[in-house]
Amino acid sequence: MSRKPSVRAGPAASRIRPGQGALGAFVSNPLVGAAGALVLFLASAAVLISILGDPAAGYPQVRAAITGPKPQGWTSAVTAGRAAGADLARAEYRLTRSPESPPLSTATDALAAAGVMAGGPLPLAPLEGVSRKTAEGILPVIGPGGLTPARAYARPFKASGRPRVAIIVGGLGLDPTTTRLALESLPPQVTLAFSPYAPGLQDWINQARARGHEVLLEAPMEPEDYPENDPGPFTLRARAQPAETVKRLEWILSRGTGYFGILNRMGERFVKSPEGMGALSGALRSRGVAFIDTGIASTSGTAEFRASANQALDTVLAPEAIDEALLRVEAAALSRGEGLGIAQAYPLSLRQVASWAGQIEGRGFQLAPASALAKIR
């Protein structure tokens, strides 16, 4: 592309050179040239609009799902419009559910689940029956027939008989760059855990579910070196009264909707507190929310539906160290039938996990969402 010659402003620029004439001087004036360029731009835009019918057609666009209550008649309209395929979808979904899964209530449930197994998005939250609006926000509840949020929001999974490996990536939502990298680079079987302090949390959850990822919500818990190491203003404290623990937990749970469980953020001191864990356990059971821990509470019976990680993946931020940790997850799966690893939202960790996940099925393992490893206790 040729570069336009620069026009030097000043009195000399307005002089009429010999043989130029008044018209030539007028055209060479920089102000006239700028005005001409503007007219040309507007004319081009008008042509673009007339052809494409969209004044923003030439610009990058972002599409966002609109959250909120569904219009009246939405479920019945979709059910009626797709009734012909409902039986097939229902039969397909039966293959994906575990024995503990609740029965399907509508044809749209079956169609949504079948679509997920085919690589489609998870249904937009909140789902009917497993949430309730409160003064704090939307809180999870156990729905009709005993349907829990832990089941409703988990990614459907069909076991292949191979050893299962699952990965959770935590600390998401606080840094938009790494959060977008996780959404764009990780396969949908990887479970994503978001901070309750993340700005625009519900938008991030919606984007994750739209890409097929199930979601956990991080619950900050008191570490051994608290308050030097402080997970935030709504940290669950080891010596707090049970009512205060429940109150803080409900604030955390009300930050968003669409998660199937919580994941501890720190918490080495909190999980040793019988009072704290008792209050947490009762609150999670009453709301049907799962508890996944980073390995620090593997002997605790907190929550009815839970799992513990076998391996932290990035305590040492080096490619070879992360790869070795992933191999230990595989070793756990070979010896126990399943392995669960947890990584943080570091760019290096995301790259290593994405590369590993692209190869794991070829080595005889099955990549599974974390909920597929959770057990009823």
> Where in the sequence is the domain holding 270, given as residue range(s)?
164-376
Count other C-beta atoms under 10 Å from residue 373's C-beta.
23
Is residue 50 in some structural domain? no
The reported pLDDT for the residue numbered 300 is 67
The whole-number average pLDDT for the span 117-133 is 87
How many structural domains comprise the chain? 1
Q: How far, in Å, CA of 314 to CA of 169, rounded?
A: 11
Q: Tell me which residue of 175, 166, 131, 133 sits closest to 152, measured CA to CA.
A: 131
Least confident of 17-26, 72-81, 222-231, 325-334: 72-81
Look-up: residue for tokens 């994405």? 354
Percent of the chain with pLDDT over 70: 67
Instruction: Please report the pLDDT score of residue 119 as a whole number.
Output: 59
**pLDDT band at residue 358, thresholds of 50, 70 and 90?**
very high
Residue 37 pLDDT exceeds 80:
no
d(CA 202, CA 222): 25
Amino acid code (one letter) for 4: K
Beta bridge partners of 194: 172, 217
- Residue-wise pLDDT for 303-356, tens only, equals 678 899 999 999 999 999 999 999 999 999 999 999 999 999 999 999 999 999
115 is a domain residue: no
Position with higher pLDDT, 47 vs 137: 137
* DSSP H helices in 186-269: 201-210, 242-253
Q: Taking CA 12 as the corner, what is the angle to CA 6 and CA 17, rounded to the nearest 5 degrees?
A: 95
Judge whether 69 lies within some domain: no
Average pLDDT over residues 84-102: 36
* pLDDT, tens only, 251-309: 999 999 999 999 999 999 999 999 999 999 999 999 999 999 999 987 765 667 889 99
Q: Which residues pair with 307 in a beta bridge?
A: 292
CB 277 within 8 A of CB 158: no
In a domain, 285, yes or no: yes
pTM value is 0.71
Dmax of the chain from CA atoms? 97
Closest CA to 325 of 287, 356, 366: 356
Q: Is residue 353 in some structural domain?
A: yes
Quick check: is 63 in a domain? no
280: CATH: 3.20.20.370
Are the CB atoms for 182 and 169 separated by under 8 Å?
Answer: yes
Q: Which residue has the higher pLDDT, 57 or 276?
A: 276
pLDDT of residue 305: 85
| pLDDT score, position 376 | 79
pLDDT tens-place string over residues 187-225: 999 999 999 999 999 999 999 999 999 999 999 999 999
The residue with greater pLDDT, 219 or 8, is 219
Quote the CA–CA distance of 337 and 296 in Å, as a whole number: 21
Cα separation, 369 vs 191, in Å, equals 6
Q: What percent of the chain has pLDDT over 90?
A: 64
Q: How confident is the model at residue 91 (pLDDT cuts 50, 70, 90)?
A: very low
Q: What is the mean pLDDT of the chain?
A: 78
**pLDDT at site 242:** 97
